[in-house]
């Protein structure tokens, strides 16, 4: 029946080609929307996931990682005093303006971390080391921000909120969801910046590493009792809270979802229309098969095979196009996440959409009377 499905499609080369093109665009649309959404969510939670912390302590009712408020740094001592805590480190998150070479300025997201420990600092470097920010007005910028900031030359001097900083390192593929360039510096320097609400004695987060990860929920519960004026979350809970905020509360997730569904509907409609037209055109041939003893199930297999052939051919072409487009998309500063698992899952969804669309042709065959073959 697979061979019959292929011969039927091949017989109508023009119609088959149009269908493949439709599925290709559908696959590109779905992969782009899902890939960009996942890429943005990964960017929004990158620092959380790479910090190696099991528990995050933040200001009360925080909505996402990017919107932190200050609280006393001294609460780190309460966290570190628990016997299950291996270490506790503060982290500063604030915002500032970086002066550009042409006289303009660009808002940046500033992360202040302890360079002796590296907790919360950059994890992928192409020049310099995270510890290089120690002991002065030194900073690290990410290479993905070159499009907005200009050339990032190690050793160059930059003006940040009226203070001069030396660029001592360049990280790689570290973005924020807000698209503002991420700037790393030492925790002490971040507290001394004359901007925002951060000052010595205050912090944005306290990160804790446990001796036994399996106790994270129990330790988090104890810390919630101890720190009633703070939100205490496991790293997984903080990731989910950040994703939920950007996905649901801002409406961004729904826009990506609707566009992806539209792509599926377009692809399914094209396949359904093509297969239905093929089925109607070859009704006598199918009737002949039934008159010769073929069961409905056998013809169903042929029709569903047509749907899968269309889906597989169009999706393969769409995936190839996405692979070629990916470097250009990411070079434009758009995070795009594509993995073998994602590609497989999207193919299954598109394949099911195409099979569902072919159901209308199956219904046509179900009511087909083989006697029609013998009617003059």
Per-residue confidence (pLDDT) for residue 77, from 0 to 100: 92
Domain ranges (residues) in the chain? 2-43+251-374, 61-228
Contact between 246 and 252 (Cβ < 8 Å): yes
Per-residue confidence (pLDDT) for residue 259, from 0 to 100: 81
Residues 33 and 257: their CA atoms lie apart, in Å, by 8
Q: For 25-52, what is the mean pLDDT?
A: 88
CA distances from 212 to 182, 206, 239 (A): 32, 18, 20
Q: Per-residue confidence at 371, pLDDT binned at 50, 70, 90?
A: low
Q: Which of 228-237, 262-271, 342-351 has the highest mean pLDDT?
A: 228-237
Per-residue confidence (pLDDT) for residue 367, from 0 to 100: 62
Q: For 265-269, what is the mean pLDDT?
A: 74
Can you tell me which residue has the tokens 């804790």? 208
Tens of pLDDT, residue by residue over 26-36, are 888 888 888 88
- DSSP code, position 118: -
CA distances from 246 to 33, 66, 230, 258 (A): 15, 10, 21, 16
Concatenated DSSP letters of 199-241: -TTEESEEEEEES-GGGHHHHHHHHHHH-TTEEEEEHHHHHHH
- DSSP code, position 100: P
Q: Per-residue confidence at 162, pLDDT binned at 50, 70, 90?
A: confident
Can you tell me which residue has the tokens 């740094």? 73
Judged by phi (left if over 0) then psi (alpha if -120 to 50, else beta), residue 290 lies in: alpha
Q: Is 362 helix (H, G, I), strand (E, B) or coil?
A: helix
SS (H, E, C) 288-317: HHHHCCCCHHHHHHHHHHHHHHHHHHHHHH
Q: Per-residue confidence at 176, pLDDT binned at 50, 70, 90?
A: confident
Residues 238 and 236: their CA atoms lie apart, in Å, by 5
């Amino acid at each position: 029946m697979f061979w019959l499905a292929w011969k039927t499609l091949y017989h109508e080369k023009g119609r088959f080609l149009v269908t493949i093109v439709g599925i290709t665009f559908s696959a590109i649309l779905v992969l782009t929307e899902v890939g960009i959404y996942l890429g943005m969510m990964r960017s929004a939670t990158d620092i959380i996931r790479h910090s190696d912390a099991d528990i995050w302590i933040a200001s009360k009712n925080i909505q996402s990682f990017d919107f932190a408020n200050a609280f006393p740094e001294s609460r780190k001592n309460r966290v570190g005093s628990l016997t299950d805590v291996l270490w506790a480190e503060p982290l500063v998150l604030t915002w500032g303006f970086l002066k550009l070479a042409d006289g303009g300025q660009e808002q940046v997201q500033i992360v202040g971390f302890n360079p002796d420990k590296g907790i919360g600092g950059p994890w992928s470097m192409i020049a310099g080391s995270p510890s290089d920010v120690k002991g002065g007005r030194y900073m690290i910028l990410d290479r993905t921000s070159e499009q907005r900031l200009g050339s990032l030359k190690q050793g160059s001097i930059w003006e940040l909120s009226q203070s001069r900083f030396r660029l001592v390192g360049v990280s790689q593929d570290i973005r924020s969801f807000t698209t503002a360039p991420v700037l790393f510096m030492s925790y002490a320097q971040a507290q001394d910046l004359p901007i925002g609400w951060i000052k010595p004695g205050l912090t944005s987060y306290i990160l804790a590493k446990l001796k036994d990860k399996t106790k994270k929920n129990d330790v988090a519960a104890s810390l919630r009792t101890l720190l009633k004026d703070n939100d205490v979350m496991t790293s997984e809970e903080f990731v989910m809270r950040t994703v939920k905020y950007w996905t649901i509360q801002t409406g961004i997730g729904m826009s990506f979802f609707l566009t992806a569904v539209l792509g599926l509907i377009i692809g399914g409609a094209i396949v359904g229309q093509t297969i239905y037209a093929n089925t109607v055109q070859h009704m006598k041939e199918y009737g002949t098969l039934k008159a010769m003893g073929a069961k409905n199930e056998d013809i169903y297999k042929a029709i569903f095979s047509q749907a899968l052939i269309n889906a597989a051919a169009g999706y393969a072409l769409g995936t190839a196009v996405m692979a070629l487009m990916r470097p250009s998309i990411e070079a434009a500063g758009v995070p795009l996440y594509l993995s073998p698992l994602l590609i497989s899952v999207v193919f299954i969804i598109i394949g099911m959409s195409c099979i569902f669309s072919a159901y209308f042709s199956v219904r046509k065959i179900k009511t087909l009377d083989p006697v029609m073959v013998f009617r003059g």
